[in-house]
Structure 1
Amino acid sequence: MAVDFVADLAVPAKDRFAYFWNTRGDWVEEPNRRRGGESGVQRVVSENGRLLYVKRQTGHIYRSWLHPFGRPTVLRERDALEGLRQLNVNVPRMVFCGAERDENNEWRALLVTASLDGFEEIENWYASGGREHFGEVLHDQMLKALAENLARMHKGRWQHSCIYIKHVFVRVVGEGADAKPEVALLDLEKCRRRLTAYAAAQHDMKQLRRHSSFKSADWSKLVYFYEAAFGSSIKGLDR
């Protein structure tokens, strides 16, 4: 099975799995063994010069009541990318996703996403002096943008399930009075739908608090912006 999300690639649709499978680059996440197989991410340049990230998996599956015999985890991530895009949550643009059985009946799977040009991990942005350079007004705008992206995700009943601070990427477009912050969320492999928006919100926001280094004042601002965007307070979020 394969899903095509790029129109400007000259490779025929039927050959794209083989094309991306055989296109190699530098590892940004070395293959790790879990879930009965291997999964890793490479940085590659496509034939049209675009910087892409290829998640390459062999036998790397998850099981659920819908898929008791196993399904490649990239297909769950594909579903999340599609769903969050529809909710106007800023996530990497999907270029290609596909999965097939090899000659040994083992799953091979790919997820190809476009590079988030200009974005960096928010903690790296802090460490490089981004906050001091752009000032507190823009920093508050960045917290608000993060809160609104999270709220849109949760209102759609999507739970990230692994929302560590390292999965929050930021960039600033423009300078001076024209500077504008943008926020993107990454690593959606464990993302899933919940029965209620509140359940998704409570899980992720508590997890983000545990796995982030926000100062108390900044966390209080983030919670304020989040609850305003979400439309209700979340029990247990200490400001």
Structure 2
Amino acid sequence: MKHYIAEKWRDILVFNDLDSYEKVWALKADWFEEPNYRRGGWSGVSRVELKLPLGGSVGVFLKRQEDHVTRTLGHPIKGFSTFAREFNVIRAFQQHNIPSLEVVFFEQWKQDGHQRAFIMTEELSGYAPLSSEDYRMGSALLANEQQKTALFEKLAELLHSMHKHKFQHNCLYPKHVFAKQLAAGGVDLRVIDLEKVKKVLTKKQAMYRDLDTLLRHAKTWSDEDKLAFYKTYQGESYLSNGSQRLWNKLNKK
């Protein structure tokens, strides 16, 4: 798919005069993340406030790129935009009820010999990444075992929802999992940065890669915290022989 506008956002985009790819591409907006120049092109992120027809506003993130492509067996020479890959993953995640981002507008096209694309997603308002001070072990949100258990159970559920469908995130750092506290005392999680997600042959392959990345980069988790999460993921109070072997393999790295 080269063009997509979410129906619920169409009137809002029209109200903000951003209902075509030309208008979005020409939009002047400060960089939220400075452009990244690699893969023969560039890619950058802006945060934009959209006015609502009935008053107020909503934040969205706009990612634009030019000649920033990924090459696969199906596209070995020209490749295709990394945002097209991200868009496809978000749509696949939605089909499998894997909590992630909501796409507002996506477009890819060729102009003057250049491959261009953008993806606009709704801001995760009220969420914070697991790498933030809010979710540092011992913080107000993770001050006791009950709060830790609630987070670990929800995180394990999120990872299971990816891995059972053989999605390997490939970059599962704590900063790419966003959390929001719910009024009932629970927590909602969303996974982001999906440009490198790929389908793999087995659940075990996806599980090993993502657990290895997550546990190595969870800098504020103690060894006991990491083991507690691993047990939660495996659904075991005492590790089976197979789970113990995988745990030993993860710890060797």
**Do the structures match in fold with TM over 0.5?**
yes
Q: Which residue of 2 aligns with 1:36?
A: 40
Matched, 1:106 2:114: yes
Task: Tell whether the 8 Å contact from 1:119 to 1:170 is kept in structure 2 after alignment.
Answer: yes
Deviation of 1:132 after TM superposition, in Å, equals 5.0
Task: Tell whether the 8 Å contact from 2:101 to 2:192 is kept in structure 1 after alignment.
Answer: yes
The share of aligned pairs that are identical, in percent, is 30
Residue by residue over 1:66-118, the C-alpha shift from the partner in whole angstroms, topping out at 9 and shown as x without a partner, is 1122100001111111112222221111111110111x220110011101110
Task: Tell whether the 8 Å contact from 2:131 to 2:218 is kept in structure 1 after alignment.
Answer: no
Residue by residue over 1:121-147, the C-alpha shift from the partner in whole angstroms, topping out at 9 and shown as x without a partner, is 1232135933356x4312211111111
User: What is the CA–CA distance in structure 1 between the aligned matches of 2:154 and 2:202, rounded to whole Å?
Assistant: 23
Check 1:131–1:7 CA distance in 2 against 1; reply closer, same or farther (3 A cut): closer
User: What is the CA–CA distance in structure 2 between the aligned matches of 1:202 and 1:182, rounded to whole Å?
Assistant: 24
Task: Tell whether the 8 Å contact from 1:123 to 1:165 is kept in structure 2 after alignment.
Answer: yes
Q: Which residue of 2 aligns with 1:217?
A: 224
Q: Which residue of 1 aligns with 2:67?
A: 59
SS at match of 1:88: coil
Number of aligned residue pairs: give it.
Answer: 231
Matched, 1:70 2:76: no
Matched, 1:160 2:169: yes
Check 1:130–1:41 CA distance in 2 against 1; reply closer, same or farther (3 A cut): farther
Deviation of 1:238 after TM superposition, in Å, equals 4.2
SS at match of 2:44: strand
Q: Alpha carbon RMSD of aligned pairs, Å?
A: 2.3
Task: Tell whether the 8 Å contact from 2:142 to 2:148 is kept in structure 1 after alignment.
Answer: no
User: What is the CA–CA distance in structure 1 between the aligned matches of 2:10 and 2:19, rounded to whole Å?
Assistant: 11
Report which of the two structures shows the higher radius of gyration computed on alpha carbons: 2
Identify the match of residue 16 of structure 1 among 12, 15, 20: 20
Task: Tell whether the 8 Å contact from 2:43 to 2:66 is kept in structure 1 after alignment.
Answer: yes
Check 1:183–1:8 CA distance in 2 against 1; reply closer, same or farther (3 A cut): closer
Q: Which residue of 2 aligns with 1:5?
A: 6
Task: Tell whether the 8 Å contact from 1:51 to 1:115 is kept in structure 2 after alignment.
Answer: yes
Structure showing greater relative contact order (alpha-carbon pairs closer than 8 Å, 6 or more residues apart): 1
Where do 4+ consecutive residues of structure 1 move more than 6 Å? none
Q: Provide structure 2 residue ranges, at least 5 long, that are not aligned to the other structure.
A: 237-241
Q: Which residue of 1 aligns with 2:239?
A: none
User: What is the CA–CA distance in structure 1 between the aligned matches of 2:34 and 2:114, rounded to whole Å?
Assistant: 20
SS at match of 2:101: coil
92-101 vs 120-129, which deviates more? 120-129
User: What is the CA–CA distance in structure 1 between the aligned matches of 2:119 and 2:44, rounded to whole Å?
Assistant: 11
Q: Provide structure 1 residue ranges, at least 5 long, that are not aligned to the other structure.
A: none
Task: Tell whether the 8 Å contact from 2:65 to 2:117 is kept in structure 1 after alignment.
Answer: yes
User: What is the CA–CA distance in structure 1 between the aligned matches of 2:223 and 2:165, rounded to whole Å?
Assistant: 28
TM-score, normalised with respect to structure 2? 0.84
